[in-house]
Structure 1
Amino acid sequence: MLTFLVFCSLNSFSQEPDIPTPKSHQLKWHEAEMGAVFHYDLHVFDGTRYVQSNNRINPIQDYNIFNPTELNTDQWVQAAKAAGCKFAVLTATHETGFGLWQSDVNPYCLKAVKWRDGKGDIVQDFVTSCRKYGLQPGIYLGIRWNSFLGIHDFKTEGKGEFARNRQTWYKHLCEKMVTEICTRYGDLFMIWFDGGADDPLGNGPDVEPIVNKYQPDCLFYHNANRADFRWGGTETGTVKYPCWSTFPYPSSNHKHKLNTEQREQLRHGDKNGKYWVPAMADAPLRGANDRHEWFWEPDDENNIFSLDALVEKYEKSVGRNATLILGLTPDPTGLIPAGDAQRLKEMGDEIKRRFSSPIAQTSGQKKSLTLNFGKKQPVNYCIIQENIKNGERIRKYKIEAKVNGKWQTVCSGESVGFKRIEKFEPVETTTLRLTVSESIALPQINNFSAYSVSKP
């Protein structure tokens, strides 16, 4: 009996705690690190500045202004890939309600226009291009607003039985559109509902069962019940630090204006959260000089973020355990403008230059790892990555360099998750050491690497 009790005691001591872990499709989200979202809609062709409040209320007078004479989704996807994106998302519908595919249930779509004799299907073109160039395709559906049908914040106009019947009809229309998207274009990386899909017990359509049935490996973002990732609280392309992948609730859906506590939760997550809901950092490429343009607009060529700004966003999103999504803007001809494409290539080249060739690299399941360089050399960056298949385990760490025979702390932190990029003042050293001072289980570190990054 004594032997049995000792065995049980040792066995219970060695058991690891119950830690939230990502589902397989959430692992793909982390591993992608970076993606693009392409916004395209009727108002791209009207020659005026986009005003969201107007666009949500007033239908486009003539939908035949849609006429991208040089449309080339291969060029879109190649531009995103050059930046380092591993997935791409297309806005199949946005706030006008106009659909960029051959819908059998939504008459307000590419069937209705003269372009390509009413036979165009940009969703099909886009998905084909993604697969051609090795990016994972996703589709974005804006159903919260629809100026053509008079839907505002999921609600139909009016009161009484007429409005109630139209509300029911609109919910079913959304469900049928989601079914079309989920069944016609092969496996999808994600279905993204702009502004969420609300509550299926309220004004929202019941779309989650449709996605589960036809796209079981697809990321779902999001409704009142479920979010496979969360918005990081701003549209700056960065997240605050620390940024945990765990969250107190299974959904991050916030229909109304966020209070301070809710916004902080989105920005930081919750290290003690029970659900795996990792962060997204999003920003439009054309966001410099106080502009913030998700769609192409005239006279914005000088408002593309600088290379330095984009690399900083990468380091403060991907480098803080989030996935970065850049908003890209096809123009009225149907192409990503040349200046935008060039900046994306510069971004991808610079990220490779900085982080593709570590000075030294190691891994291990232990609380301390050491990198030996073999000779003294400058170092100013390091990367830490946990094996998140088994959850986020690290709670506090520090990195030290051996300088003149003594250990000197160069940086310290809290969350690591899929990837933590640490930048610090350059130091000449032969050895770098990572020490995990606090964890909730034995750290499983897939990558501890050091870099010497010079200015371009």
Structure 2
Amino acid sequence: MAQTAGHPVPSRSQLKWHEAELGVVFHYDLHVFDGKKYGQGNNRITPVADYNIFNPEHLDTDQWVVAAKNAGAKFAVLTATHETGFALYQSDVNPYCLKAVKWRDGKGDIVRDFVNSCRKYGIMPGIYVGIRWNSLLGIHNFKAQGEGVFARNRQQWYKQMCEKMVEELCTRYGDLFLIWFDGGADDPEGDGPDVLPVVTKYQPDCLFYHNVQRADFRWGGSETGTVAYPCWSSFPQPYSHHKQSDSDEEHLLLLKHGDPNGKYWVPAMADTPLRGAEGRHEWFWEPGDEDAVYPLTDLMNMYRKSVGRNATLILGLTPDPSGLLPAGDSLRLKEFGDAVLERFATPLKSVKGSGNRLELKLGKETEIHSCIIQEDISKGERIRRYKVEAKVDGMWQTVCEGESVGHKRIQQFPSLKTKVVRLTVVEAVDVPDVLNFSVYGGEK
């Protein structure tokens, strides 16, 4: 973790995280094929009766990744394992994997297919490893159930198996953008496997999320696809959260906002499933959920309240039992990507520079309704308070103001006509360095 002038700055990998702005995570597991509504509590404790229900006859990871790219995603993550414990690759240490099923004669490797598709279409690949729950092996909240020597021996064996699985995933598929441990990987001094040294050794440039030792980004405190404001990238500790702090209200508030005086760079993630409308919140495909895809207006609102609040947005996508992303989901992703480009790709005017004030001269009276501000975060978050003003009838009028800027701040305000707009940094901890100050007009 580097520091400049006493405040934290991102690593090169964390800069890529910010610049990506949008990613996706594909959830796929055995219960997608049982034709039932997903019940997480039961799924965590009841093994799937017949793992040969896994049979995605038309599986096409190219189709998945193209849909993500159409949304504007720069990275994609696949659940190599989730709460059943079943692994979507050819594991030599976990027999509960694609070697065990009849699909593709036991030779399928969806992780490899997925990574190849990502590289084919210019998307950075990531892998999600679910080890907190394993219904087959009786692992509940990281812990092997039972007491005495039997349980302790199973716990130790499980920790070692997880470490070896992570080594397999880190060494077989080339460079990875991130490794994501669902709910963390827990404390290696307690119930958790010691996975950080494995990732550090074999994937030194990979983002690590997370255990009690380190998090290269943090959960933003909800699964709404939004973060609270202000949202700082700095944080008082080098990790995100752990099983003891999951329900701690004070820590939840910290996850949502960060800490402007924090010593560590741990930026926020805003995640949500695409199928989260109509009272649903589904990370996995389920029958009858076609109407639960978020409408475009909701997705654009999420974009403004995640990417536009200095966080990275991750949408959860759900391939169906045939092995394809449903057509309605793919269409909505394309609509979303097109809408973001249409709305934010072409500003009326842009400027960059150092100092406490930047001015945009529009040349003629023009209607504006929003702006984007971006700091050079390679030097840290320097801005603490700012305001944006427009000259109307010869007088400067404040149109918006705020606190944190970071990688990107998007603000809307009531439409008005002006020839000149200015950004004033009211308070900063060092000389402000603005990479981009842009204003927008036309349709909101």
TM-score category by the smaller chain? over 0.9
> What is the rounded CA distance, in whole Å, between the counterparts of 2:135 and 2:242 in structure 1?
22
Q: CA deviation at 1:181?
A: 0.1
Query: Which of 421, 426, 432 lines up with 2:410 in the alignment?
Result: 421
The residue type paired with residue 291 of structure 1 is R
Aligned to 1:70, which of 58, 65, 80? 58
In the other structure, the counterpart of 1:134 is: 122
In the alignment, is residue 336 of structure 1 matched against residue 325 of structure 2? yes
**Equivalents in 2 of 1:336, 1:115: separation in Å?**
19
Query: What's the counterpart of residue 89 of structure 2?
Result: 101
Are the aligned partners of 1:17 and 1:440 in contact in 2 as well (CA < 8 Å)? no
Partner of 1:264: 253
Match of 1:34 among 17, 22, 25: 22
Q: Does residue 397 of structure 1 match 2:396?
A: no
What is the rounded CA distance, in whole Å, between the counterparts of 2:305 and 2:414 in structure 1? Answer: 17
Q: Deviations over 1:55-114 (max 9, x none)?
A: 000000000000001000000000011011000000000000000000000000000000
Distance 2:282 2:377 in 1: 34
Aligned partner of residue 7 in structure 2, secondary structure: coil
Q: Is 1:228 paired with 2:221?
A: no
User: Do the aligned partners of 2:211 and 2:242 also contact (CA within 8 Å) in 1?
Assistant: no
Q: Secondary structure at the match of 1:331?
A: coil
TM superposition shift of 1:384: 0.3
Query: Over residues 220-276 of structure 1, what are the superposed CA-to-partner deviations in whole Å (9 max), with x where a residue is unaligned?
Result: 000011100000000000000000000010001221342221111000000000000
Aligned length: 440
2:312 alignment counterpart: 323
Aligned partner (choices 256, 269, 277) of residue 266 of structure 2: 277
How big is the shift at 1:17? 2.8
2:212–2:241 CA contact under 8 A, matched in 1 = yes
Pairing partner for 1:304 from 282, 286, 293: 293
Letter paired with 1:100: L
Alpha-carbon distance in structure 2 between the residues aligned to 1:299 and 1:453? 38
1:197 to 173, 185, 192: 185
Q: Work out whether 1:376 is the aligned partner of 2:360.
A: no
Aligned equivalents of 1:253 and 1:271: distance in 2?
Answer: 18
- SS in structure 2 of the partner of residue 242 of structure 1: coil
Distance 1:46 1:218 in 2: 35
Q: After TM superposition, give the deviation of residue 215 of structure 1 in Å.
A: 0.1
User: What runs of 5+ residues in structure 1 fail to find an aligned partner?
Assistant: 1-15
* Whole-angstrom distance in 2 between the partners of 1:398 and 1:430: 17
What's the CA shift string for 1:317-340, capped at 9, x where partnerless?
000000000000000000000000
C-alpha displacement at 1:453, in angstroms?
3.9
Out of 340, 364, 374, the residue aligned to residue 351 of structure 1 is 340
Equivalent residue, structure 2, for 1:447: 436
Give matches, 1:215-254, under 5 Å.
Answer: 215-254=203-242
TM (norm. structure 1) is 0.96
Deviation at 1:389, TM superposition (A): 0.3
Structure 2, unaligned stretches of length 5 or more? none
TM (norm. structure 2) is 0.98
Measured in 2, the distance between the counterparts of 1:59 and 1:330 equals: 21
Cα separation, 1, equivalents of 2:241 and 2:387: 35
Of the candidates 132, 138, 145, which is equivalent to residue 150 of structure 1? Answer: 138
- 1:103–1:177: 8 Å Cα contact kept in structure 2? yes
CA positional deviation for 1:157: 1.6
Which range moves more in the overlay, 91-100 or 257-266?
257-266
* 1:381/1:453 contact within 8 Å kept: no
CA distance in 2, matches of 1:406, 1:27: 39
Q: Secondary structure at the match of 1:120?
A: coil
What does residue 412 of structure 1 align with? Answer: 401
**d(CA) in 1 for partners of 2:5, 2:207:** 27
1:206 partnered with 2:199? no
- From 33, 36, 49, give the equivalent of 1:61: 49
CA distance in 1, matches of 2:169, 2:249: 36
Q: Is the 8 A contact 2:372 2:408 kept in 1?
A: yes
CA distance in structure 2 between the aligned counterparts of 1:120 and 1:18, rounded to whole angstroms: 50
**Per the alignment, in what secondary structure is the counterpart of residue 373 of structure 1?**
strand
Distance (Å, rounded) in 1 between the aligned partners of 2:240 and 2:210: 8
Residue equivalent to 2:12: 24
Residue 142 of structure 1 contacts residue 193 of structure 1 at CA under 8 Å; is this kept in 2?
yes
Match of 2:155, SS?
helix
SS of the residue 1:325 aligns to: strand
Q: Quote the residue 1:430 is aligned against.
A: 419
CA contact (8 A) 2:78 2:128 kept: yes
Cα pair 1:98 1:109 within 8 Å, conserved: yes
CA displacement 1:36-68 (0-9 Å, x = unmatched): 000000000000000000000000000000000
Identity rate, percent: 68
CA distance in 2: counterparts of 1:285 and 1:453, whole angstroms: 28
- 1:153 maps to a residue whose letter is N
Which secondary structure does the structure 1 equivalent of 2:8 belong to?
A: coil
**Take 1:174 and 1:320, find their aligned partners in 2: how far apart are those partners?**
35
Q: Which string of whole-angstrom CA distances, capped at 9 and with x for unpartnered residues, describes residues 266-302 of structure 1?
A: 0000000000000000000000011000000000001
AA in 2 matched with 1:156: A
3-state DSSP class of the match of 1:20?
strand
Q: Equivalents in 2 of 1:99, 1:252: separation in Å?
A: 26
Larger CA Rg, structure 1 vs 2: 1
The residue type equivalent to 1:278 in the other structure is P
